[in-house]
Chains A and B, each alone.
Chain A
């Protein structure tokens, strides 16, 4: 027999029991190691060099582009609003997150420009404007949710519009008469016989112009579609406040410049979200809006957002980062078609009543918004949350890749807390309390997970896109493992001179259990970094012929 090397040789030399004993011994040892490791809370036993070892099992990998998002529970909303959101979700068999975030959007529509929050009680203030986009594929009953949640806004708007109808008509008549008089006086002025007559006509003209009443517009809370320019006009007409609420994505395409030769005019949205002053020159009139407030509430298909994410201006301007995007898990295919659950009448009635209370007097905007402070406990919680976000912004932190979005998260949490507080306490609210802040922070944490999913979904998360490319390469090559150098060389088209991007992609894949990094010694040189591939991700290769 040549030199003995395998278990057959062992069995021939020492009998079949020798092979059985050694394999069994290895299995027993592995069991002991696992038990010992579990008892010590360490899943990575450190075997002696020449002893068989178990290796930590691979967890389920999360491939790039695949994101599991949590639901956003209705309990985070004030009782009456949460009950309505839960009832709408149950009735339409849609994810609760869709109704919850639409509810937040409805609150922002009703309360923006009327309230602000001031975390420190000083000059730093956050308006209550919110940009929300729920991304759900077609057929998920987005419109049904939208219709149910926005109904009170439509109703109150209509009531006020009806009340304004006679006032508008009266003012219009006065303006019409004044215009005609001015026209007549202008004609007479051109024919004036002497200076005395001209002075008399000029004085009459000035009097007419001063007496002409200002144009009165029907108060509106929202529009479903508008270009940036029309939105600007509406802001002027509506005292600096307007919301865009739509269950169609057209509005984003329009705002993205569909009717402006592809040139996006997004300043009005950015300023409206930030509450920074707008100066508008239109039709010979200069309008100043010192506290503009624009909210956007959308329930759209992911493809629409993908199109917009492709716009450099959309992302570079920071507009994309302002959206609180949710990617609710679709119920499609799992809905009970026999189930018909109506929204309970008492829940519906309370919701309508409470919203009517919040919308009371919405047409008379105050000179400046009412400012809500934070209680000491609420401020501490908010600062804790801000510190958590700050840490996550570091390289390889929780928000690596979506830093522009996460940078605005503390502000978003402050805004949400203000909305929740007014919804809970009423229009007399003056302080954001601890309980409210707790809910706002929990919502912010959930929204962060959704944001990562959304940015990955729309291809705006660079690390995710790079990670997907690495996985595609691994699968195409049928690799079980590879060195970082090998990957860098093979994907030089993508990563040449961009080592940081490759590192970020590898790190993302490691945290998602797709890769596992190990070091292999190189005699006389630095150890090589190797990436082991989760077998579940190599499926594309195994048996693919």
Chain B
């Protein structure tokens, strides 16, 4: 089995299998459509080196997954080979970062264009109705709500689209890390939560400014960004209570985010959970 075949077999095992056959030129980053990507989206990437030994790196912008692969071998590598490998890895990492920045820039341009095309959303949208929240600073394009994804400086980086049935998706390649959707004017207390509907609910219930971080994984980064911007604020991470998921990832992420910024965490208690 060639190194390329072995690498592609590995990609299958980590859920990054290309939907169509791809070729991997030596040391060149290749983007492709992976499982779960919508048609036309090239969310996955892979790079393969075969000299001085076979190794590769792959990932997905959509899921954030990143993996590296190395052909098994017992041979001890020489110092020259080690240096070459180190240079290759550095180059691959730089290529990945350049690709990521390019994808971010493309998504940012697209976000600005779509945001401009949209109209201010009303509370009549089915999602707002079902969640019983107002549309704070949202826009609507066709039947979709658009939630702005901005960094701490207010720069628009991407959009989250919410369909009438509640299906959510982001712009391909858009930057999410450390970005959020803000509701309300920050004072002494800042709340950080995962989704937009939760943010709107918390704002309406408490009157405190809220930042929706879009995912549990992003809670910490958003909290850090807010801590830097508002050093004196009391930051409260209002996490999800994923009691039905092993390890309760919502609670774990909320705790970690609070710990990172010297903040407070709280998760909702539901009667039926007996909490």
Contact = CB atoms under 8 A, between A and B. Distances in A.
Nearest to B272: A4
B18 interface: no
Contact of B268 (A22, A30, A536): A22
10 contacts: A3-B244, A6-B250, A12-B132, A19-B201, A54-B263, A56-B262, A58-B261, A518-B259, A533-B260, A545-B175
B227 interface: yes
A85 to B, nearest CB: 38
Given A3-B244, A55-B263, A23 B238 contact: yes
B132 to A, nearest CB: 6
A16 B266 contact: no
Interface in A495-545: 518, 532-533, 535-536, 538-539, 541-543, 545
B236 A26 contact: yes
A539 B155 CA distance: 16
B169 interface: no
B147 interface: no
A480 B220 CA distance: 8
B104 interface: yes
Contact of A7 (B157, B198, B258): B198
Contacts of B101: 545
B133 interface: yes
Interface in B186-216: 189, 191, 193-195, 197-198, 200-202, 204-206, 208
Contacts of B242: 5
B260 A481 contact: yes
Contacts of A536: 227-228, 231
Interface string A197-230: 0000000000000000000000000000000000
Interface of B: 86, 101, 104, 131-133, 151-153, 155, 157, 175, 177-178, 189, 191, 193-195, 197-198, 200-202, 204-206, 208, 220-221, 223-225, 227-228, 231, 234, 236, 238, 240-244, 250, 256, 258-266, 268-272, 275
Given A56-B262, A545-B157, 18 more contacts: A6-B250, A7-B202, A8-B198, A9-B270, A10-B270, A11-B132, A13-B270, A14-B271, A22-B269, A27-B264, A53-B264, A57-B262, A535-B224, A535-B227, A535-B261, A538-B224, A542-B228, A543-B178
Contacts of A16: 201, 204-205
Contacts of A493: 86
A493 B90 CA distance: 13
Contact of A30 (B153, B231, B264): B264
Contact of B206 (A10, A14, A20): A20
A7 B208 CA distance: 14
B151 A543 contact: yes
B264 A6 contact: no
A203 B177 CA distance: 99
A6 to B, nearest CB: 4
Contacts of A30: 234, 264
A251 B91 CA distance: 45
Contacts of B264: 26-27, 30, 52-55
A518 B256 CA distance: 11
A462 interface: no
Q: Is the interface of B mostly helix, strand, loop or mixed?
A: mixed
B205 A542 contact: no
Contacts, number: 144
Given A20-B206, A542-B225, A11 B201 contact: yes
A53 B260 CA distance: 13
Contacts of B259: 55, 518, 532
A11 B205 contact: yes
Interface string A25-52: 0110010000000000000000000101
B137 to A, nearest CB: 17
Nearest to A520: B256
Contacts of B236: 23, 26-27
Contacts of B250: 5-6
Contacts of A19: 201-202, 205-206, 268
B124 to A, nearest CB: 18
Contacts of B266: 22-23, 26, 52
Contacts of A9: 268, 270
Interface string A220-261: 000000000000000000000000000000000000000000
A24 interface: yes
A58 B224 CA distance: 12
Given A17-B205, A481-B256, A541-B178, A8 B131 contact: yes
- Most chain A CB neighbours (cut-off 10 Å) among B152, B194, B205: B205
Contacts of B155: 543
A396 to B, nearest CB: 24
A9 to B, nearest CB: 7
B236 to A, nearest CB: 7
A369 interface: no
Nearest to A15: B205
Nearest to A52: B266
A535 B201 contact: no
A10 B273 CA distance: 12
Contacts of A3: 244
A7 B223 CA distance: 18
A535 B195 contact: no
B198 A6 contact: yes
B179 to A, nearest CB: 9
Contacts of A20: 205-206
Contacts of A543: 151-153, 155, 178, 225
Interface string A466-495: 000000000000101100000000000100
A543 B151 CA distance: 6
A14 B104 CA distance: 40
A535 B260 contact: yes
B15 to A, nearest CB: 23
A53 to B, nearest CB: 7
B271 A23 contact: no
Contacts of A12: 131-132
B263 to A, nearest CB: 7
Contacts of A6: 193-195, 197-198, 240-241, 250, 268
B255 to A, nearest CB: 8
A203 B41 CA distance: 111
A50 to B, nearest CB: 7
Interface string A313-347: 00000000000000000000000000000000000
A23 B224 contact: no
Q: Which 8 pairs, one residue from A and one from B, show the smallest C-beta to C-beta distance?
A: A26-B266, A57-B262, A20-B205, A10-B268, A19-B205, A8-B197, A535-B224, A8-B201
- Most chain A CB neighbours (cut-off 10 Å) among B191, B193, B221, B242: B221
B206 A532 contact: no
Nearest to A54: B264
A287 to B, nearest CB: 52
Given A16-B201, A27-B234, A542 B178 contact: yes
Nearest to A516: B259
Contacts of B205: 7, 11, 16-17, 19-20, 23
Given A16-B205, A19-B202, A542 B268 contact: no
